[in-house]
Amino acid sequence: MVSPLASGNWGSVYIARLASDEKPDGMTAGSPPDEVALKFVMTNAFGPRRSREWRELAEREAEFSQNAAHDRLISVLQTLVVTDEERPDLDGAVVLVMERATGSLQERLDAATDGEPLADADRVITQICEGLAHLHAEGWVHADLKPANVLIMPDGSVRLADFGLVSRVDGTHGYAPPLGSPDYLPPERWREGISERGVPVRSTADIWALGITVHQILTGGSLPFLGATAGARAAAVQEYACGRAPLRLHPALDATGRDFVSRCLARDHTSRSSATADRLLALARASSPVLAERRRTALGRLAVSVVTAAAVLAVAGTTGGWWWLAVQDPGNEAKAGPTKRITVYNIETPCRKQTERLRTCSMGLALNPYKKYKSGNVSEHRIWHGDVLEADCVAYEGDRVADETGVGTTRWYRVKVAEEPSGHAWFPAVRTRNEPTALPTCGSDASPGG
């Protein structure tokens, strides 16, 4: 028995119930009994050249899936080609026999409430990062990561799917067909030239798409770049990438979510290079219990506030609306923000091995993160590899600085420096390997103490 399930840009998916003697060898216990998904790629529906491209995409997806097994990647169990001259619409179609999922992340987002994260957002984000980290570690770029390509399995876990554009990295990048979903393409993609091998793609393209997807997960489906059409949203991306507009994230994002998404949505490939999939996975795993505890604490604090407010109002005999908001607002506590420790990292190996605090191995701090890091904007206080600093907030749109390898950032942490009159200076994110999470965003006052 076959029934339709979904359709996409280059294929349709059906549910098939198989007899026991028809089960593919790759059927896993995680699939519903006797059910698989059949993805039909209608290669003959286009001209000869395009049909050949679609067939190559289907074969690429099947080959990749059969050789890259992982718990966070959907499995292609078998590949078939339809031969039916009496049905020219089907004749030649490539059929991928896949594990049966119960839905997609996009479907969950379509039913979500604007501004509210998915109930299990932390787990979903972590599992997406697990799949992406595995892909990148094996030398692949997904090149089409988006909520529609994140499938929900019967046990509630998620798996990455649709590997038709997946590309093997050769050196610094791979090549993919000039396809993809505009809302999830990084800004540099629009400027890349097309060669006979395709469009250059890098792992940082997946990181950008991850940032867009995580923003949606944490905000009930909202995209970070607004516009009535995909073209308008792409224009907003370019305005941001060129420095003509700031990154305007949804106000519902808390400090942890804002930090994660901002790392992914750095303006260019080089700035995004430090946000690797394995680092983001570590952040997601570290943040999950923190976020869960924060929600529990916020709910508990809200319950106490309701009781307290009711008692006080009963005594005072007033409705005191402004006071009520001040008491129950769980965000008030976050204004002070946590203090996080940062360990200084020097990328130069001789300086890392040096135990003496040589001036030549020292590094500086900025007085203002939004001004050029040069004479007049450098703290007299020097720091060395292994020093531990305390940060109290983070600025995301500061002056871009790069380390000796060219990896850059616009993210600066305000750290405590007793020697400065203000008690603070600014530390660039490229100078550490243990970037703190859950820090509040610094205020608009960019002075050292602001």
Query: Would you list the domain boundaries of the chain?
Result: 2-100, 104-283, 336-450
CB of 200 closer than 8 Å to CB of 207: no
- Contact by Cβ (8 Å): 409, 395: no
Report pLDDT for 275.
87
The whole-number pLDDT of residue 41 equals: 67
The string of DSSP letters for 106-163 reads: HHHHHTSPTT---TTHHHHHHHHHHHHHHHHHTTEE-S--SGGGEEEPTTS-EEE---
The pLDDT value given to residue 249: 92
Answer with the residue of higher pLDDT: 14 or 363. 363
State residue 303's pLDDT score: 42
- Could you say which DSSP state residue 186 is in? -
Q: What is the mean pLDDT of residues 53-76?
A: 71
What mean pLDDT is predicted for residues 136-153?
90
Q: 222 or 438: whose pLDDT is higher?
A: 222
DSSP string, 222-258: --SS--SSHHHHHHHHHHHHTTSS-----TT--HHHH
Q: What is the mean pLDDT of residues 421-435?
A: 88
Mean of the pLDDT values across residues 39-62? Answer: 61
DSSP 287: H
> CA–CA separation, 256 vs 441, rounded Å?
10
**How confident is the model at residue 316, as a pLDDT?**
35
pLDDT at 38 over 50: yes
Would you place residue 35 in the very low, low, confident or very high pLDDT band (cuts 50, 70, 90)? confident
Structure-block tokens of residue 443? 């205020």
Residues 159-183 have a mean pLDDT of 76
Residue 326, pLDDT score: 26
Which one is predicted more confidently, 154 or 17? 154
Model confidence over 373-391: pLDDT tens digits?
A: 888 899 999 999 999 999 9
Q: How confident is the model at residue 90 (pLDDT cuts 50, 70, 90)?
A: low
In this predicted structure, the answer to whether residue 189 has a pLDDT above a threshold of 70 is: yes
Please give the Cα distance from 356 to 179 (Å, whole number): 54
Please give the mean pLDDT across all residues of the chain: 76
pLDDT of residue 330: 32
User: pLDDT tens digits, residue range 109-137?
Assistant: 999 998 899 999 999 999 999 999 988 88
> At residue 256, what is the residue type?
T
Residue 7 pLDDT greater than 80, yes or no: no
Q: 195 falls in which pLDDT band (50, 70, 90)?
A: low
Distance CA 69, CA 26 (A): 11
325 contact partners, CB below 8 Å, separation of at least 6: none
Helix (H, G, I), strand (E, B) or coil at 195: strand
| Residue range 104-283 in CATH 1.10.510.10 | yes
- Whether the per-residue pLDDT at 176 is higher than 70: the answer is no
pLDDT value of residue 130: 93
Highest mean pLDDT among 216-220, 279-283, 317-321: 216-220
Give the 3-state secondary structure of residue 366.
strand
For range 421-438, the mean pLDDT: 85
- In the predicted model, what is the mean pLDDT of residues 155-165? 87
pLDDT at 104: 92
Residue 430 structure tokens:
């490229």
DSSP β-ladder status, 94-98 and 76-81: antiparallel
pLDDT digits (tens, 9 = 90+) for 295-348: 444 444 444 433 333 333 333 333 332 222 222 333 333 334 456 889 998 888
Phi-psi region of 75 (alpha: psi -120 to 50; beta: other; left: phi over 0): beta
What's the CATH class of domain 2-100? alpha beta
Burial 132-156 (b: 16+ CB within 10 A, else e): bbbbbeeebbbbbbbbbbbbbbeee
